[in-house]
Amino acid sequence: MKPVLFISDLHLSPERSAVNRLFHVFLNGPARAAEALYVLGDLFDSWAGDDDLDDPFNREMVAALGQLTGHGVVLYVMHGNRDLLMGERFAAACRAVLLPDPTLTHVCRVPTLLMHGDTLCTDDAAYQAFRAQVRDPAFQAAFLAKPLAERKAFIGQLRSRSEAEKGQKPAEIMDVNPGAVEAELRRHGFPRLIHGHTHRPARHLHDLEGRCCERWVLPDWYERGGYLACDEGGWRLVAL
């Protein structure tokens, strides 16, 4: 059995060439040997709309993903908070399957809930209000109707503001809320949960009504990279 791999929070951007090189190594190595690759959000540091597919950096990355699917690896992509505007043209360009957040599926015969993870950070009320606004279809349609250059400038401003605010927020509110995690596990029938977003890679166990649910948190790719793998040998986090 070929392994199934999970990654998230690569935040690919032309400014971080070491990570981009690592991503190519990953795609040509472990990912190429996999049955399927799940990207659980924030593949790109920003995505202004699918009309930005002609940007040289985006084109290079999408071509690399297309090579992977050309080798028969099934590619699933979920939106994160940074790349929520990736759409059907992006998906078609690399033959990816876009996944809704959350998605309940079977991985290695185990019921598994896939999420980006930001919806679990319910203690950050300001972020949740912002998320509701940018996920609103009418808001997105109006935003995508603006010229590409204007959208990119707006995203750039948003980015600097969010970096400044992050320094002000206590570390706890940037993590998942245990109650929110448990509510999702209950609602979906006590599956295994895999998510990213918090950049706190770990394996957690949640005891709920006598059921033990495993929760894997994926690593980010800021300092280094990593992935979660599942095969007949079990589940493991692998650092790159």
CB of 101 to Mn ion, least distance (A): 11
User: What token pair was written down for 219?
Assistant: 């690593």
Q: Does 80 bind Mn ion (CB under 5 A)?
A: yes
Cβ within 8 Å of residue 76, ≥6 positions away: 36, 37, 38, 39, 96, 97, 98, 99
Instruction: Give the residue, chosen from 11, 197, 199, 215, that forms a contact with Mn ion under the rule CB under 5 A.
Output: 197
Nearer to Mn ion, 25 or 162 (CB): 162
From residue 8 to residue 47, what is the string marking binding to Mn ion with x (rule CB under 5 A)?
----------------------------------x-----
Nearer to Mn ion, 47 or 190 (CB): 47
CB of 80 to Mn ion, least distance (A): 4
Written in H, E and C, the secondary structure of 105-166 is EEECCEEEEECCCHHHCCCCHHHHHHHHHHCCHHHHHHHHCCCHHHHHHHHHHHHHHHHHHH
CB of 123 to Mn ion, least distance (A): 15
Q: Does 198 bind Mn ion (CB under 5 A)?
A: no
CB of 224 to Mn ion, least distance (A): 18
Q: Does 201 bind Mn ion (CB under 5 A)?
A: no
Nearer to Mn ion, 3 or 80 (CB): 80
CB of 42 to Mn ion, least distance (A): 4
Question: CB under 5 A: which stretch of 58-66, 73-81, 138-146, 203-211 binds Mn ion?
Answer: 73-81
Other CB atoms within 10 Å distance of the CB of residue 35 = 16
SS3 82: coil
Strand pairing category for 97-99 and 103-107: unpaired
Q: Does 81 bind Mn ion (CB under 5 A)?
A: yes
* CA pair distance 9, 7, nearest whole angstrom: 7
Nearer to Mn ion, 151 or 199 (CB): 199
5 exposed, middle or buried (CB, 10 Å; 0-12, 13-18, 19+)? Answer: buried
CB of 1 to Mn ion, least distance (A): 30
Strands across the sheet containing 202-208: 103-107, 110-114, 192-195, 211-217, 202-208
Q: Does 199 bind Mn ion (CB under 5 A)?
A: no
Cβ within 8 Å of residue 188, ≥6 positions away: 102, 104, 111, 113
Nearer to Mn ion, 42 or 52 (CB): 42
CA distance readout (Å), 239 to 7, 22, 107: 11, 11, 21
Count of residues of this chain found to bind Mn ion when the rule CB under 5 A is applied: 4
Q: Does 101 bind Mn ion (CB under 5 A)?
A: no
Q: Which residues bind Mn ion (CB under 5 A)?
A: 42, 80-81, 197
